[in-house]
Amino acid sequence: MMKTLIYKAEKEAFQRAGEVLKHGGIVAFPTDTVYGLGAVYTDDEAVRSIFRAKGRDEGKPLSILVEGPWQAEMVAAEVTDEAKALMERFWPGALTLILPKNNTVSDYVSAGGSTVGIRMPADETALGVIRAAGSPLAAPSANTSGKRSSVSAEDVRTDLEGKIDMIIDGGTCPIGISSTVLDLTGADIRILREGTVTREMIEETIGRRINDKQEAVMIAAGSDHAGFEMKNALIEHLKERGYEVKDFGCFSAESCDYPEYAKAVSEAVVSGEAQMGMLICGTGIGMSIAANKVKGIRAAVVSDEFSTQATREHNDANVICMGARVIDIPKAIKLLDIFLDTEFSNGVNHIRRIGKIEQ
């Protein structure tokens, strides 16, 4: 058990929090909604301590709190003019922007994915802690996963004392205001959650209508017992990204035969019921062999970034197969994101070669 320091939100507390965070510690502090638990966003080990303290699944990403728009530039790979206009008008406050992350962001923050949610809180204590750390902070809510959120320092202490380095007592949080979440990483802005910042306010700020009403893309998912747990984590990730998912089983970790799930998923893809398929077994190989028996399926087993991108660009692969005994869940999430975000190159050579397969 570590000793958890508890300080009132006064000058000394911020200095101390800054030192703790700079040395890889984790600190709880009030935000606009509930108490948050922060770590320096570039520090793998500090970010992992957050997961450990909360008992949180490493497959779930964390969002980042910044002191101002300028810090969003430290975190994001690109900040468009529209993103800047939105920050200018609604920050600090209840607006989370999902942007492509740059490579300073710890992979544990994004759970292996390529994007990150960023928000500037209005709460003075939260801003003071970020300022003291001299860095944006990865900051989920300061409570054990699955337990209710903490709205006071006492709530945090009861739940997490001995597991975190420091708590800053800044009184009781107002809760209430849920932030609007906007995904700025796709072809158009998508409103993932509408809170106090409304669609009309966003459209007025960027000076145009948002076109996010297109049909959601459907992914057919399947696994055998060996891939069951990974499949579930990936389905959750797909849903968080706004995909629709049809799960063809299996539905428990009891031993079963992969060919039937490969067939069901493949048939959903060739019939057009789903746009893409995802199959997980121990190695990914049995699934791909079985899926490729269905005409029109181009199933690829992947375990690295390069091949995942190439199989979309060159082979127009429509089913991704991964091995739960080969790669871990954060890696599988990363590869799935690459698979979904990479377009077929449409090169004549590639079209000709795929045509030969399909003959």
Q: How far is 329 from 7, CA to CA, in rounded Å?
A: 37
Closer residue to ligand RB5 (CB): 51 or 258 = 258
- Which one, 243 or 258, has the nearer CB to ligand RB5? 258
281 belongs to the catalytic site? yes
Q: Cα(292)–Cα(260) distance, rounded to whole angstroms?
A: 13
Question: 136 or 227, CB closer to ligand RB5?
Answer: 227
d(CA 345, CA 334): 20
Residues 241-280, one symbol each (x = binds ligand RB5 by CB under 6 A, - = not), give -----------------x----------------------
Q: Which residues contact 298 (CB under 8 A, 6 or more apart)?
A: 292, 315, 316, 317, 318, 319, 354, 357
Within 10 Å of residue 184's Cβ, how many Cβ atoms?
20
Query: Looking at 205, 314, 316, 341, which residue is catalytic?
Result: 314
**What is the rounded CA–CA span in Å between residue 308 and residue 300?**
8
Given 4, 33, 96, 283, the catalytic residue: 283
Site for ligand RB5 in 197-226 (CB under 6 A): 224, 226
Q: Which residue in 224, 250, 308, 311 is the catalytic one?
A: 224
**57 is known as an active-site residue:** no
Judge contact between 177 and 94, C-beta under 8 A.
yes
Instruction: Name the nearest CA neighbour of 95 among 66, 63, 120, 78.
Output: 120
205 is known as an active-site residue: no
The answer to whether 283 contacts ligand RB5 (rule: CB under 6 A) is yes
Whether 314 sits among the annotated catalytic residues: the reply is yes
In the complex with ligand RB5, which residue's Cβ is closer, 197 or 281? 281
Interface residues with ligand RB5 (CB under 6 A)?
Answer: 224, 226, 258, 281-283, 285-286
Residues labelled as active-site residues: 224, 281, 283, 314, 350
